[in-house]
Amino acid sequence: GDSVTQMEGPVTLSEEAFLTINCTYTATGYPSLFWYVQYPGEGLQLLLKATKADDKGSNKGFEATYRKETTSFHLEKGSVQVSDSAVYFCALEGQNFVFGPGTRLSVLP
């Protein structure tokens, strides 16, 4: 079945550092790919999405590119802020909606 793998956390960075959170997937067909963010005490919010190969999703300085050849959708941000501290979930929608386990990011001032 479909699955999503994310890098293990927690990830701890200093403010203004470069962020990469790796995500790879296994799916039949051509799934849509998503990144969700969960701030402390809140539900999940959609951060960005991509629906076909080579699409780039972007929002709030975050970017991710749908790479079909490597089955990846890595999340990147050039300069993180303390307010980016949250748990980030990679997800796909193929036959079912599947979430990765989440990666906790802590950004220190």
Residues of this chain that bind other proteins (CB under 8 A) = 31-32, 34, 36, 41-46, 49, 51, 89, 93-94, 96-97, 99-102
Q: How far is the CB of 79 from other proteins (least distance, A)?
A: 26
User: Of the two residues 8 and 16, which places its CB atom closer to other proteins in the complex?
Assistant: 8
Q: How far is the CB of 65 from other proteins (least distance, A)?
A: 17
Give the neighbor-by-neighbor strand order of the sheet with 56-59. 19-21, 75-77, 62-65, 56-59
User: Of the two residues 41 and 109, which places its CB atom closer to other proteins in the complex?
Assistant: 41
User: Of the two residues 43 and 109, which places its CB atom closer to other proteins in the complex?
Assistant: 43
User: Of the two residues 62 and 89, which places its CB atom closer to other proteins in the complex?
Assistant: 89
Q: How far is the CB of 71 from other proteins (least distance, A)?
A: 16
